[in-house]
Structure 1
Amino acid sequence: MSSSPLASLAGKRILLGISAGIAAYKSASLARLLKKTGAEVRVVMTEGAQAFITPLTLQALTGEPVRTSLLDPEAEAGMGHIELAKWADVILIAPATADLMARLAHGHADDLLTTLCLATEARCVMAPAMNQAMWRHPATLANADRLGQFGWTLLGPDAGDQACGDVGLGRMLEPEAIFHQLSETLASSGHPSVEAMTIHRDLAGRHVVITAGPTREALDPVRYLSNHSSGKMGYALAAACAARGATVTLVSGPVSLPTPPGVERQDVTSAEEMLAAVESRLPCDLFIACAAVADYRAAHVAEHKLKKTEDESGLTLALVRNPDIVATVAARADRPFTVGFAAETQSLETHAGSKLERKRLDLIVANDVARGDRGFGSDDNAATLLWRERDETRRQPLPLQSKRRLADAILDHVVERLP
């Protein structure tokens, strides 16, 4: 493993393909970022891409001539397209339009860029960019899945405002996000990392609501009750669901994490706020309650800061129970498939199994937070999945691994059981 993901790009030969999307103007920034790491960058543009950005701009940024035509007599005298295909360590297409994805998914080689992609043995990565309705179309989702089967890594797309005025999933990731995800993908001896891959589109068309992070329950204007949850597991699950094609709503307690690409995020503070936000997004197909919700809150929040008194007996706080968010969702008449989490310090499976039964969950993820190498605040975790099948409790241990890999392992089990 490289000491830094960014070091994985130094010296790499990257062929940057640009197709005919409005996001092509961002490719100039991407080329500049790649060059700054010490990568060699050559650019191939489709005919349509040149309507959005000129080859001269990319040539100035890379210091290399830009190729635009398959039938360039000067280049093809030496079979230039084959030479380029062999030269590249990585082919990165950004933006990749719906049309280009369709042509690559079906083996077309009708211009220089698609021909290179069929002729290369390099790592192939693309950043899709299109209107949100085009991305959601079954044909595009099927093409994305087919490209994954062919070994392509898809970075994004992202959600947000689009050039056409629509809002939704389909816009190209920002150049910095593509740059960092590509770095992570290549960090492990050139092999793809699960973190950056979109191979399975098995949640396409599904709406997933996920809670993440801690809640904070106010005692007075400056103090609160909370816990050590970092939100990393919930955010990893949100990223994994989006990568599998789901529409994802992430209801997050206070954390210092960036929103995963393609995910709608709503920030909340207290358990009551979290429940209200979740209920406002229902019904959904899948609910994953990953947040570490405070079980209790103050019966009365002090209007002013509580002062230390001379009484040596200490301070007594009156607490009341918070709403049980996952049990509330699981009890609905239109209940989604409901996944809970059990963070325990002892008798892991006993406590988790009891929670599975009492709260009528479809699956529970149990993890031991007493160990220092996993759980709260860590980038890694291990878990045991518990579920009911034919009146028996079944279990599946998942070994210690990155939380992003663990998220995909959990989703593999969830997808098998989704109605």
Structure 2
Amino acid sequence: MNDSQHRGGVHMANGFDPSAGAELDPAAAALLRRRDRVLGPSYRLFYREPVAIERGEGVRLLGADGREYLDAYNNVPAIGHSHPAVTAAVSAQLATLNTHTRYLTEPIIDYSERLLAKFPDPLDRVTYACTGSEAIDLAIRTARAATGRQGVIISEHAYHGTTVAAAGLSPSLGPNNPLGEHVVTVPSVDAARTPPEEIGPRLLASVEAAIRELEARGEGVAAVLFDSILSSDGVQPDPAGFLAPAADAVRRAGGLYLADEVQPGFGRTGAWWGFERHGLVPDLVVLGKPMGNGMPISALVGSAAVQERFGASVRYFNTFGGNPVSIAAAGAVLDVIEQDGLVAHADAVGAFLLDGLRELGARHDRVAHVRGAGLFLAMEFGAEDARRTPDADLAARVVDGMRRAGILISASGPAAAALKIRPPLPFSRGDAERLLETLDDVLAEEARR
């Protein structure tokens, strides 16, 4: 095994470290050796003992060893792994036509009309790409063209993608990943150590300071870009509305508000879009991963007015962005979310799960904070000191304990001290009960250490 997982001091929350000496199943160990011989060294694996997966269905994954895992982490298969509606739609379209957007085809128009109907006015135009990273890149280019300014404000542990531009907006990729030239960060929201009534004012003050810095540098502010649930900052949904004052401040300075909905979008938070909880209408919205349930499709949504200057001056084309096969997958996702009532389902099951996590938090001393919106939740661990210093080691042990018990979750936040619970939307109340019972057992085992 090579040491690529932690080379150069690079760390990934909940990452596999080959130097830790984990005893792997022989078949998994052989697969890992083959993987290391052919894949690039920047790849990472989850868990102290990586999981070898062969098949997925609904909210469950089947390991190569025949073991079944309850998936409480993957948001890309939003409507469940290997959903038959997506399989049928993709297969039928692939057998009919798959080409680019320079021909006049009806499916992309049908889907766009349906998608835009989910957004408030004046968000009435959509441009397609293949990945969230590409859509983030397009959003920044569009914002800079619309405002004539360069500066972008992000949170200090944000993740927005992997292209040169998007990686430059993703400090969570690590200390060896340089930020963009015109990028300024603001401190991450820290709900575990900040009174709820202070969260919004602190963020506003930080954004206003960032605006002043960008103006003093002569760059001005083109946009503030926030993931609507601040996922990489530890999942920070509360209090509802705290993002709105920061958006207003940026607009007063001549910039735009960009909502990254790649993770919170499509019903995950119990509403169609994460920004709805904050009572604001973004200028531009980025969509990705869950949009096609694993098929490569992403989008930038905004008003015609905001996108006009970029569209009039730059020819944008993405060969496979919005191709008919990916559009078919995206349409099937909308069908299932609507027909199965998955937005309301995420709200109801998420509320049950949040109540259960809070009950566990009240029983286990090392739980510093519990938070969530819909099926996007976090349980943060802290030391038993006055500051409740974030405890990343405990979070990592709990994640691995859950994995051993057959439930897949992850960790998040600047200190990687918060469990990240984000299952596919069909996650049932029974699944939630199993997760809570298992987590209670794992926390009890940790208390006995």
| Class of the TM-score when normalised by the shorter of the 2 chains | under 0.3
Give the TM-score normalised by the residue count of structure 2: 0.26
- Structure of higher RCO (CA pairs closer than 8 Å, 6+ residues apart): 2
> Normalized per residue, which structure has more strand?
1
